[in-house]
Amino acid sequence: MAVSRFLIGGLASALLLTGGVFLWKGYTQVAEEEVIPDAPPDPGPIPVAGAGAPKRGVPPPELPAAKDASREERRFNRYDRDRNESVSRVEMMSTRTAAFRKLDKNRDNLLTFEEWAAATGDRFAGADRDKSGGLSRAEFATTAPKRAPAPKCKC
């Protein structure tokens, strides 16, 4: 009796599976033949450019060239945070107040680009020992800021 139930269950499963396959095949054939009425027509093959066709579109119009900032102007602009063409004492680092006072010749607590350039030009001239108009490696090394000596104890 247990064997007959097993055989009947297997035969029923096979019939259900076969019926499901036939139904599935029937639905896919109808879907393939069905035409969607609102679909756009097939555009056909994509056209290919000829041998003499340009490789790119029209070039963009010429843009005005940006002014190349000198090294000193870039350095100055790093300090001039509010872009008002002068570096205030607040903008200059608080640890650099002595250096700021040296650069601020007219003592108005504002550093103009002319004051900045004059001081750095003097610094360059002082480093250029042989007055060649350029700095050798040894001369350039003298422009580096002096490092504070390391403390002798770790207190």
Domains of the chain: 71-141 (1.10.238.10)
Higher pLDDT, 49 or 118: 118
Q: What digits encode the pLDDT tens for the residues 93-104? A: 645 677 778 888
Residue type, 118: A
- CA–CA gap between residue 11 and residue 82 (Å, rounded): 87
pLDDT at 96: 67
Which pLDDT band holds residue 8 (cuts at 50, 70, 90)? confident
pTM summary value: 0.29
- Adjacent-strand bridge partners of 86: 112
pLDDT score at 67: 76
Least confident of 66-75, 81-90, 121-130, 141-150: 141-150
* CA 76, chain centre distance (Å): 24
